[in-house]
Structure 1
Amino acid sequence: MSQQPSKRLFLLRHGRTEWNHTRRAQGQANVPLDEVGHAQAQAAAPRLALVGAVRLWSSDLARARQTADHVAAATGLTVEEDPRLREFSVGEREGMTWDEAVAEFPQMADGISLGERLKGVPGAEDNDDVRARIVPAVEDCFAALSWGETGIAVSHGAALKLALGGLLGWDEHAVNSLGVLDNCHWATVLEPGEGRARRLLAYGVGDFASATTIG
């Protein structure tokens, strides 16, 4: 029996920024890649060029868009911006280190996920807020692909966990079990078609010495 065509979506976290390096909460601050982040994206781009993607989407925040631009240069694809792929808005926590944030908002120490920790922080999104925009965004990415095609979406660490949970139908516990993707690492989701469930093919790919292959 011949194998039926499938769809694949590569979900790529942006490269490093200075705020990543100093461990400051970025949220939707428009922080650009630092020198290391550009080098990470330049290293990841030719690897991603090998997957044969036909579409390339990106969050409109600078760190994601700059990462996507490196992928575009390696693939010849045009970057399609989608603000629904943005990171959590962290509200008044923006720019703070963890210690600074907990001193200002002590309830943050009790949360497990980022969305839980942000409850009560003025101006911040919670898990439901982010899920309501990013899951439709990645669903639209899959819908835009024809069978046999592959796409790449560049987004952000915490938001991508919720995107994966939505694509795969995972509950909160399963989503929380995932570590945040390292900068310029990615996950791959397969949609096999014929009514079969999507599968997470790999998570944390980028540094192949430490990547975790799931199936």
Structure 2
Amino acid sequence: MSAQPGHGLRTLVLLRHGETTWNAERRIQGQVDAPLSERGETQAAAVAPVLATLDPVVVWSSDLQRAARTAARVAAAAGLEVRTDPRLREFGLGEREGTTHEAYALEHPHEYADFVTGRWSSVPGAETLTGVRERLEACLGELADLVPPGRCGVAVAHGAALRVAVEALVQGTHTEPSAYAGMGNCRYAVLRERPLARPDEPRWRLHAYDRGGDPVPADEAVAVGA
């Protein structure tokens, strides 16, 4: 028996946190625990009721406060509690965490050129791409297994980590630089299970990416980038 989008297929919504004070200062964050800015709080408050209309059954978050604070807004709007998990953290960026983009470009121009094009293996002490993929995939797989068929789960994390997660879940790959651009603050991706996917095929199909505003309807059949 075939399944139709929105009928028996699980949905994952992957949301990036709101703007932080360090985003506003153009400072490289990585796993430094920077707080949301006033604008970030406003962004989180605005996206929360939008995602609540999808009636999620679980909301998970990175344990870094910028994501956890954003997730708390979503969870409250949906009548849920947030579960935090460090596996949803951003890339660790080693020696460059806390550096402004301007200083990085001035002091290490060749390395910075790699950084801004997504070649983060050039960053001293940076977490590996494989390591990020493995922890995100494991965490999101556990989240998805808690979602009943036909229902939705939300994960709140970070721009680069989510870019890696989407590529891994949808295409079964991880590349440097990624084929995906980073999502904006408090913007999100929507993934749905493939109907009758074969064992050698990715479980998920991308239905929306870097989306803001109204959520994707449950019966929307367009697959973006799948």
Give how far 1:2 is off.
6.9
Deviation readout 1:150-177 (Å, 9 max, x if unpaired): 1000000000011111111244459722
- Give me the identity figure in percent: 41
Equivalent runs, 1:3-82 vs 2, <5 Å:
3=4, 5-82=8-85
Distance 1:12 1:151 in 2: 11
Question: What is residue 198 of structure 1 aligned with on the other side?
Answer: 204
Give the one of 110, 113, 120 matched to 1:109: 113
* Residue 99 (structure 2) aligns with: 96
**Cα 1:181–1:97, aligned 2, differ >3 Å: closer, same or farther?**
same
Give the drift of 1:72.
Answer: 1.4
SS in 2 for 1:133: helix
Normalising by structure 1, report the TM-score.
0.88
Which structure 1 residue ranges, 5 or more long, are not aligned?
A: none
SS in structure 2 opposite 1:65?
A: helix
SS at match of 1:153: strand
Q: What pairs up with 1:166-185 in 2 under 5 angstroms? A: 166-172=168-174, 176-185=178-187
Aligned to 2:219: none
* Structure-2 separation of matches of 1:173 and 1:130: 12
Q: 1:159 aligns with which of 158, 161, 168?
A: 161
Task: Find the counterpart in structure 1 of residue 218 from structure 2.
Answer: none
Check the 8 A contact 1:60/1:82 in 2, yes or no: yes
Q: CA 1:167/1:66 → structure 2, altered by over 3 Å: closer, same or farther?
A: same
Unaligned runs of 5+ in 2: 215-221
Tell me which amino acid in the other structure corresponds to 1:13: R
Over the residues paired in the alignment, what is the CA RMSD in angstroms? 2.2
Q: SS of the counterpart of 2:122?
A: coil
Number of residue pairs the alignment of both structures matches: 209
Kept after mapping to 2: 8 A contact 1:165/1:175: no
> Alignment partner of 2:56: what SS?
coil
SS in 2 for 1:176: coil
**3-state secondary structure, aligned to 1:80:** strand
Q: What TM-score do the two structures reach when normalised by structure 2?
A: 0.84
Cα displacement string for residues 115-159 of structure 1 (whole angstroms, at most 9, x for unaligned residues): x334351x3212112112111111211122121111000000000
CA gap 1:129/1:25 in 2 versus in 1, 3 angstroms: same
Matches within 5 A, 1:134-145: 134-145=136-147
